[in-house]
Each structure stands twice: as structure tokens, then as C-alpha cells.
Structure 1
């Protein structure tokens, strides 16, 4: 991967600081910043008016949404819902879809998810919805399909699962999960927040019903996206004003409208990946889906190198326990690496690393059930090092040097 090309696209990287808390929020692309500024300067008006600037603004946002839909390979732009956060979008979905559910219907959640994809579902207990917990194997810390099969029933309406744990870094087999759930006649809702910064999202290939991720962790602004299959969105009641119709998608799920300038700025992300592809495959001319596939393969290879170097170091320390798979295989994990120490609390390690101008983090990262079930609260949660493709081997080497002095 051309690391110099990549780093030039992120203005914040031009400073003496190493960003390794990327699962909490990545750095933003310069192209995104430019798009925000451009929209606010030239098109900062309300949509739907008859005057020229309003019409132009509407056309620009329609174009941006079309490119976003292509980015995740959605069938149509109406399947893309923009909102302020993944947590809010999951909440909107749970309120909307559960209106037609009956007392005694069931939802399955995991104990490895961020709370964003748990609480909106478990709160439905107040309506008489039964909640089942799909628990990870305490030895391997992995979700097993055999356990899911035991939980599924004729009353299962939906399974909520993460594509990738924001602590474990483990990639779950979403295609296999979806196939099993669909065979049961149930729906799947996937949290892709920890996955989206690292790998291609192809919603048609996955055949998922709902998929959500946050753009501010995927090189963009504080905004989120939810994909939903059109037919499912169409039959749902929204939460917007009463006079909107069933086919007012996605607006019926966007009370108060969506953020115009931030939505328009997402063009900067799609443009970046297009240029990334041209930089690495200058002679190729592929479809949008294949273009992203090739680009993310380059990214995965680079991230695996970084992950292996760090895991090799941590695995050599007897007092360190990796929380998640200790392997660097890019097919099994993303470069979100968590660990605990036999003698030191997680906060003690992180606070000492701060002195080296390296940003890592400790805690439960809102995956509270995972931290509690795996008995990690006594450590003050885990130490989490979350890399992305703009991190360098030199930065990892510097982190290892600093950790060597601390642990």
C-alpha cells in the first residue's frame, strides 16, 4: 500500500502525535472537510424551495446519496437512511419495526455487541417482547452458530448481531448467520461500526436486512448510515410527522430532516476510495463493487502486517492476555486489539502511554455485557489499541517501544 499517498489525505496526521484510538473515532479526510465548507458557503439553504440555489442543493444531496448507496452496493437510494448516530438509528428502527410485533414475539441479541445494538431491543421487554441472549463461548470468545440455532424459534422476529466486536476485533460470519436466520423466517440487524473502517460492505452480497455504521469512525463527519431492504422499510411506520406516507422513504425515519452539509461531505469518502483505487491499480477499469473490493484487499494486507507486529510483541509477554483471537489473520479480525495485564490495571498502562504522545484507550467501550461476562471489570476494562490503514509500521514500532517500558 502507498502509505505516503494515504497519509497525505488526512490533514490531522501532519503532526507529532500517533492516533491509535481509531475505533473511537478516526481522523477525517481532507476531501470531506472541503465538501463541508463548500456546501455551507454555496448551498446552505432549506431543500424543496422553487428558487435556484435550493434546487441545486437538492440535486447535490441526491447525487451524494446515490454515491453512498453505490458505496455499500444498495439496490436503490431509498434504502439509505442518514442519521446523527448509529445508536439513534438503531433506536428509530426498533421503535418503527416493533409496532407490528405482538406480545410473546422474540428478539435475539448478543453479549458481544456495543450497547447501541442491544438496548433498543432489550427495552422492548416493556411491550412484552421476549429477549434471548446469544452468548459467546467463554473460552474462545467467539459466537457459535450452533448456539444461535438453539435460540431460534418460530417466534423469533429479529437477530441483532455485530459484524465485528469493537473490543475483540473478531469478524463474525454474517453471511452464514443471515442464511440461518432467514431460513428460520426471521430478520437480521447488523452493527457494522467496528467493521466499516476496515473492509468492504456489500449489503447485497451479505443479504442482510438492516445494517448500520458510523461515518466518523470511517474517515468522515459525525453522522451515521442505516441500510434497510426497501420492502421492509416500505411496510414499516416511520416516526416522522403523521402526514408522511408509507413510501416517503427515507424521510419518514428522519424527523427534523438529515444534516445536509455532513451528508454532502460523504462524497469526499467515496472520492478518496476512487483515487485510492487509481493509485494502486492505474491500468484497471473495474465496476464500483470490484474497485472497492480490490482497494479493501490492499488495506487488509497492510493492516494485517501492523496487527502481526503488535500481536507478536504482546504474545511474548506472559503477564499479558489478548482479549480476542491472538492471530493477525485479516480474514478473522480487524486491527482492533485489546488486552489485560496480570498486575497492572488497564488505566495505569494507558495513562503512562499518554506521555509518549500516543493515543490509546481503556474501558468497556459500551460493550458492557462483554466486559462483565468475561470478568474484565476488575481490570478497569481492557487496554484497546485500534489501528486503521493510515497507521504505519514505524508508529507500531514506536508503540511497542513505549509499551516495553510500561508492561
Structure 2
């Protein structure tokens, strides 16, 4: 089944916005366009629900019901219980809070495995725990390909490892890591697993319940929603870790790792993400329960993106003036493509902007990954990232613009 790109783009006001006309958006890894159902729900909340939620009067009751709807629908799509999903101000903040919980829970001499493929948000907070006597072990990428090899992980695992942290997909390498395989290896060694899904979730919400990690983190503003961090915390781990919220909320799993009150309006608006995925499922004839519909939409998105991605990879791989980072086969990666042009990347992004291509140049908070691939982090990389609403015509425009500037 092919994705109906015209139907998709009709769900995003950005594609009818005059100020964006004629520009192709290739910096989606930094934040996606917002779908209309999210904007509609956010507008409605601020117009008629902007009161303290969960009270007895209608505006309050309805606001609370919409927040609960976002929890229950997104959790069902991801194959987890409703209270195993929580919202926070950002994925970076959520990870920081988690690190504090593990700091209190772990003993000096116990270990955490991290990678140098990550965005710093899922690396730095864990690495800082070395100051508390916790051993940090680094699972290193291949310096030539930037890829993680699961066969390297067993050498880092023993009875002292309590947590293994890795990205579902790197925000510069693009490699899709085998979450199920890695999780099984970590669990077999007695360790819990934390997966940074920020760079993968925009390409289809994963079924975390089936995949098995104990923690899965991603950002709503990169999955067509508002600026919220979304965290899945499985109950078996979440009720062991020390409570980070008010003492009287410690029995509520979805509140334990949210020290501050949530942004009511943005949480409620996240139900619009579920509206959008369900609209895609309905339009394309995908049926079943919430998880089955989400899986079908995931496959639609990935199929469309893979088809569009391969010509970009082929072009860059054949270009001697740049180094393509990560896999050169579309099936093995997300459409987040970084290239080392061996010159400052920011001016290249500016040159693309002059040609109607919105892209980015820099280190993208993946300094360790760039250093691990012997890339000059100060010069940065040119990053070209797209999602399922990108069209084949836009990809051809991108390639033509790259041919002019490289």
C-alpha cells in the first residue's frame, strides 16, 4: 500500500502557509511541522479549557478528560498500560530526572553502559553519575561507519551493570539499532534498558510493549505535536526507582518522574497526534486495535520514506567531496542524513536556504558521535532530514540544490 501524500500534506497547515510557499523542509530531525488536529486541540484548550483540570465544573472536567485521553490513546498505540506513559517538559529534562532516580538507587561500583552514538541528552546525564562512584562503560561506534555492533555489547555486560542506554536511531548516523536484540542481551545480563527514541519515533510510533525496553523516550514536537517529552516507563522498573515527585504522588507511576506539574494544554493537545495517526489509518484502510493501527501507519511511513531516501543516499555516496555518515541502504536507517563536507557546514546550509531548501549545519548535540567518527565537530556536518510528508519532488529539488553547492 502506498502512502497518499496528498492526503497527508492536507493535514498540515504548514503546506498551505504563504510564508513557507516554495520552501522544502529538510530539518525535520530538529522538529517537525505540527498536524492540524494538535493545533485545533491546543487552540480549543486555550479558548475554553484553560483552568485547573479535574475539577467538578465543565471547563475543568473537560480539560482533565482531554489530558487523560492523550495518556490512554498514545499508550495504547505503543502497546503499554496507560499509567506507564508520562509527559514532561522535554526528553532532556525527563532523562535528567531519571538519572537522579538511578543515582539514588544504585550503589558505588555498579555500572551503566552508554554509547558515543547518542545525542548528548541520553548520554551526558548518565555519564555525570561517575561523580557518585558509578562506573560508566562506553559502547563505542565503528569510527568508519558510525554504527554500533551488537556483538561488542556482551564484553561490557556483567553482574554489576544495572542499565544499558542507547539510541533507537542516531540523530547524525541514522542507523536503526536492533532494539529487540539489544534489549534481550541486556535483560539476560540482569540489566534494565533505556532507549532514546527521539530520532526514530517521527518515522512511526514503535510498539514498546512488544520490543521490550524498560524505558523509551521521545519528543512530541518531533512527532507532529507540541513541545513535550513523552516517556514510557514500565511498571517493573518504575516502582523500584526512588520517587522524584511529591511524596503523596509516589503511588501514581505516571507522576513519579514528573517533579513539576505538566503543561495541561500541551498534554491535552497530544491527543491530536493520535487523531492524526488514526486519520491516516482510516484513510488507508488499516483496521484493528490501537496498536495494530499504529503498526500499520508505521509501515506506511517507513515505506514511503525508504523509497524517497535511497536516491539521496546514492547521490551522496557517489560524491567524492563529501563523506556520507552511517548506512548507505535506506532500509537500515532513518531519513536523517548527515554528511561531512570537510568544511564548515553552516555556510552550506545557508546556501541551501537561498535555494529554498531548509536544512541544518552543526554538531546537533552529537559531539561524541562526530568525534568518534573523526569528524571535526567545530566544522559540523550538513544534516538533511525528512519524514513521511516529504514529497518525491522535494527530494529531487534537494539533490539538484546539493549539486549546485557541493
Give the alignment of 1:133-212 within 5 angstroms.
133-212=138-217
For 2:77, the equivalent position in structure 1 comes to: 71
Q: Distance in 2 between matches of 1:98 and 1:355?
A: 48
In the TM superposition, residue 280 of structure 1 has moved relative to its aligned partner by: 1.4
In the TM superposition, residue 404 of structure 1 has moved relative to its aligned partner by: 1.0
For 2:49, the equivalent position in structure 1 comes to: 43
Q: More deviation in 129-138 or 287-296?
A: 287-296
For 1:259, the equivalent position in structure 2 comes to: 263
Q: Distance in 1 between matches of 2:145 and 2:170?
A: 14
1:304 to 286, 303, 306: 306
Give the secondary structure class of the aligned counterpart of 1:231. helix
CA contact (8 A) 1:346 1:379 kept: no
For 1:295, the equivalent position in structure 2 comes to: 297
Q: Does 1:228 align with 2:230?
A: no
For 1:101, the equivalent position in structure 2 comes to: 106
In the TM superposition, residue 47 of structure 1 has moved relative to its aligned partner by: 2.5
Q: Distance in 2 between matches of 1:77 and 1:217?
A: 21
For 2:396, the equivalent position in structure 1 comes to: 397
For 2:341, the equivalent position in structure 1 comes to: 341
For 1:382, the equivalent position in structure 2 comes to: 381
1:317 to 316, 319, 327: 319
Unaligned runs of 5+ in 2: none
For 2:354, the equivalent position in structure 1 comes to: 355
In the TM superposition, residue 315 of structure 1 has moved relative to its aligned partner by: 2.1
Give the secondary structure class of the aligned counterpart of 1:302. helix
Q: Distance in 2 between matches of 1:216 and 1:19?
A: 15
* 1:234-260 deviation line (CA, Å, top 9, x unaligned): 22222223x325312222322231111
What TM-score, normalized to structure 2?
0.95
* 1:134-185 deviation line (CA, Å, top 9, x unaligned): 0012233211122110011110010110000000110001100000000000
Q: Distance in 2 between matches of 1:268 and 1:52?
A: 21
Give the secondary structure class of the aligned counterpart of 1:235. coil
Q: More deviation in 374-383 or 1-10?
A: 374-383
Q: Distance in 2 between matches of 1:279 and 1:335?
A: 24
CA contact (8 A) 1:36 1:262 kept: yes
Give the secondary structure class of the aligned counterpart of 2:293. helix
For 1:270, the equivalent position in structure 2 comes to: 274
* 1:344-377 deviation line (CA, Å, top 9, x unaligned): 4322322211101211111111111011121211
What TM-score, normalized to structure 1?
0.95
Number of residues paired by the alignment?
400
* 1:255-281 deviation line (CA, Å, top 9, x unaligned): 231111111111111111111111112
Q: More deviation in 26-35 or 226-235?
A: 226-235
Q: Distance in 2 between matches of 1:279 and 1:209?
A: 33
Q: Distance in 1 between matches of 2:97 and 2:245?
A: 10
For 1:30, the equivalent position in structure 2 comes to: 36
Give the secondary structure class of the aligned counterpart of 2:176. coil
Q: Distance in 2 between matches of 1:387 and 1:289?
A: 24
Q: Distance in 1 between matches of 2:163 and 2:73?
A: 29
CA contact (8 A) 2:141 2:372 kept: no
* 1:72-102 deviation line (CA, Å, top 9, x unaligned): 111x211111001000001111111331211
2:25 to 19, 23, 48: 19
* 1:30-71 deviation line (CA, Å, top 9, x unaligned): 110000011111211113434343223222221221111112
Give the secondary structure class of the aligned counterpart of 1:258. coil
Q: Distance in 2 between matches of 1:197 and 1:378?
A: 25
Give the secondary structure class of the aligned counterpart of 1:23. helix
Q: More deviation in 317-326 or 229-238?
A: 229-238
Q: Distance in 2 between matches of 1:259 and 1:277?
A: 28
RMSD: 1.5
Q: Does 1:115 align with 2:130?
A: no
Q: Distance in 1 between matches of 2:263 and 2:378?
A: 40
Q: 1:404 to 1:292 in 2, by over 3 A?
A: same
In the TM superposition, residue 121 of structure 1 has moved relative to its aligned partner by: 0.6
